[in-house]
Amino acid sequence: MNTKETIIIGIAGGSGSGKSTFSSHLEDHLLNLKVKVIHMDDYFKEDKPTITAPYTQIEYEDHNHPDSFDFDKLLDDYKQLLKQEYDVIIIEGLMTLYNNDIRKLLHLKIFIDCQADERIVRRINRNLAFGQSFEDITSVYLDAVRYRHQEFVEPSRWHADIILNGSSLPTIGTDIISTWIKSQYSRLGHE
């Protein structure tokens, strides 16, 4: 565990599973606490590795590989945030539970589980809004994302303390987790 002053929560799950949505929902349930959410998507490296699709042999920039993320920068920023006396820091992203250095910081590890077909539909809707074409979105998913999910993201679920259903906003899960956070906050001597 890290400090007694700040409770650190980690949220992982596949692309489109609902990590960011749940993080925002949890933050809304902690209105009386000073909360900071760290989004792992803000820590993509400039130079990312590539992946060659097994069947099409198309090469893609690999956003779903651990080497795509600047974990050192994330950890440095995290240390700076500790100095700002946040009550709760939430770290959310694909590799939150994959990375051992991050896992060691966490008081509570959460994995958002969601079926692949639902995640791809969400990914299509999200990325269409970003201006990507349907063909590009589905090709990248089928040629690269799903393999990296199976290789890196899915196995990280075994590090989770709690697995939540990402198919709907888990209101009971949010209530349980926010109650746990508040009890930890009180137990650590905060008022």
Domain that holds residue 125: 7-182
Strands 35-39 and 88-92: parallel
> Using one digit for the tens of pLDDT, what is the confidence trace for 99-123?
999 999 999 999 999 898 888 899 8
pTM equals 0.89
Does a structural domain hold residue 191?
A: no
Task: Give me the pLDDT at residue 142, please.
Answer: 87
Task: Give me the pLDDT at residue 4, please.
Answer: 55
- In angstroms, the CA 147 to CA 170 distance is 27
CATH of the domain at 122: 3.40.50.300
pLDDT (average), residues 42-63: 91
Does a structural domain hold residue 107?
A: yes
Task: Give me the pLDDT at residue 123, please.
Answer: 87
- In angstroms, the CA 28 to CA 33 distance is 10
Does a structural domain hold residue 156?
A: yes
Task: Give me the pLDDT at residue 3, please.
Answer: 45
CA torsion 31-35-39-45 (nearest 10°) is 160
Q: Which helix (H) or strand (E) holds 26?
A: helix 19-28
Decide: 121 and 127 in contact? Cβ < 8 Å.
no
If one counts the domains in the chain, the total is 1
C-alpha gyration radius of the chain: 17
Does a structural domain hold residue 99?
A: yes
Residue with tokens 């099409």: 56
Whether 91 has a pLDDT exceeding 90, the answer reads: yes
Does a structural domain hold residue 105?
A: yes
Does a structural domain hold residue 187?
A: no
Does a structural domain hold residue 178?
A: yes
The DSSP-derived string for 109-148 is: EEEEE--HHHHHHHHHHHHHHTT--HHHHHHHIIIIIHHH
Residue 129 CB burial class (10 angstroms; 0-12, 13-18, ≥19): exposed
Q: What is the DSSP letter of 95?
A: T
Lowest mean pLDDT among 34-43, 132-141, 155-164: 132-141
pLDDT (average), residues 141-149: 88
Does a structural domain hold residue 108?
A: yes
Q: Which residue has the higher pLDDT, 167 or 43?
A: 43
- In angstroms, the CA 120 to CA 137 distance is 9
Whether 186 has a pLDDT exceeding 90, the answer reads: no
What pLDDT band is residue 2 in, cutting at 50, 70 and 90?
very low
